[in-house]
Amino acid sequence: MLRLFSALAVPPEVGERLVQAQSGLERARWRPLESLHVTLRFYGDVREDAARDLDAELALAGAGPVGVSLSGVGAFGEGRDIHAVWAAVIETEPLRRLAERCERAARRAGLRSERRVWRPHVTLAYLNRPDPDAVARWIQVNNLLSVEAFALDRFGLYSSHRTAEGSVYRQEAEYPL
């Protein structure tokens, strides 16, 4: 089984700007520059035969370059159950269409439909039972984070491997847009 997701990699020059916001929360597991991405679809644990089918379907998903802009920050969860902080990605029609194409590719490959609502973002850190007031202060300090549109001409299929330090991602395939 492979734990898979499709995503747009954040270019290093954009990632450097995001790394500047990665401070001010105790015990946060800040994501390294090379792990910053916009998830298009999380597939979860996938059998290798289904992964091959998914790869073939994703190869057909591209529809031209996608512009990505970032504006603001937020958190997933509430109270002591906040588990991540992120930079918000402005949802555009081309970006949404690409995410929908990744969803259709999953269904054609025999994978289950995603039940969660897609919310484009770049995860900056994972948290474990943080002080909610500290998270609120971090959001307030960083809420003006903004990155003007940058164009991406490819997306990838990534595997996720859990380690004691957090998940490590490896690009398994790359597809032109």
Q: What is the pLDDT of residues 33-42, one digit of tens each?
A: 999 999 999 9
* Structural domains of the chain sorted by starting position, each given as residue range(s) with its CATH number in brackets: 2-176 (3.90.1140.10)
Q: How far is CA 144 from CA 88, 104, 122, 138, 141, in A?
A: 11, 34, 15, 11, 8
Q: What is the largest CA-CA distance in the chain?
A: 46
- Residue 86 has phi, psi (to 5 degrees) of -145, 165
Per the CB < 8 A criterion, the answer to whether 29 and 126 are in contact is yes
How does the average pLDDT of the chain come out, rounded?
96
pLDDT at 167: 87
Tokens, residue 120: 């484009």
Q: Which residues pair with 42 in a beta bridge?
A: 5
**CA–CA separation, 158 and 172 (whole Å):** 5
Q: Which two tokens stand for residue 62?
A: 């591209």
Residue 165 pLDDT class (50, 70, 90 cuts):
confident
pLDDT digits (tens, 9 = 90+) for 24-34: 999 999 999 99
Query: Rounded mean pLDDT of 21-26?
Result: 96
Using a cut of 0.75, tell me whether the model's pTM lies above it: yes
CA atoms of 107 and 173, how far apart (whole Å): 19
pLDDT in tens, 79-132: 999 999 999 999 999 999 999 999 999 999 999 999 999 999 999 999 999 999
Query: What is the distance between the alpha carbons of residues 94 and 62, in angstroms, rounded to a whole number?
Result: 10
* Residues 6 or more apart in contact with residue 176 via CB below 8 angstroms: 62, 153, 154
